[in-house]
């Protein structure tokens, strides 16, 4: 993988994770996998004003976690697979070392139990 792409994925992956650190944004994000929803629908679902929901959606859009498409006089929001992929790619870089650490801890626990 080219270095420039790696840096971009890492930056976008971190941005996605940071965006989801906020409980309201996470609730909005978690409401979207089943169907696109409007700002008003999302606001009602998570118990915030439409203005607050719009601000949270802006952060989620900047993190490439949600996309918007116009639908008449409203805007519908849905998950953006690009940002999800970048967040997954960012986290996957830690998977081999996490598995290795787990295997080492398991091995140590077994050898301590055998003595």
Cβ neighbours for 57, distance < 8 A, ≥ 6 positions apart:
28, 39, 42, 66, 68, 77
CA–CA separation, 20 and 14 (whole Å): 10
Domains (ranges, CATH) in the chain?
3-113 (1.10.10.10)
**pLDDT the model gives residue 114:** 61
In whole angstroms, give the CA distance from residue 41 to residue 7: 36
Intra-chain end-to-end CA distance of the chain, in Å: 45
Q: What backbone torsions phi and psi does residue 78 show, to the nearest 5 degrees? A: -150, 165
From first to last of its 115 residues, the chain has per-residue pLDDT tens of 444 444 454 577 889 999 999 999 999 999 999 999 999 999 999 999 999 999 999 999 999 999 999 999 999 999 999 889 988 998 898 888 888 889 889 988 888 876 4
């Amino acid at each position: 993988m080219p270095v420039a792409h790696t840096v971009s994925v890492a930056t976008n992956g971190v941005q996605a994770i940071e965006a989801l650190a906020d409980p309201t944004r996470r609730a909005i994000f978690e409401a979207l996998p089943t169907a696109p929803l409007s700002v008003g629908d999302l606001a009602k679902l998570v118990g915030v004003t439409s203005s607050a929901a719009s601000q949270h959606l802006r952060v989620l859009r900047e993190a490439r976690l949600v996309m918007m498409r116009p639908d008449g006089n409203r805007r519908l929001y849905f998950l953006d697979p690009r940002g999800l992929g970048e967040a997954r790619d960012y986290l996957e870089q830690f998977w081999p070392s996490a598995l290795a650490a787990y295997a080492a801890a398991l091995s140590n626990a077994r050898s301590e139990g055998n003595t």
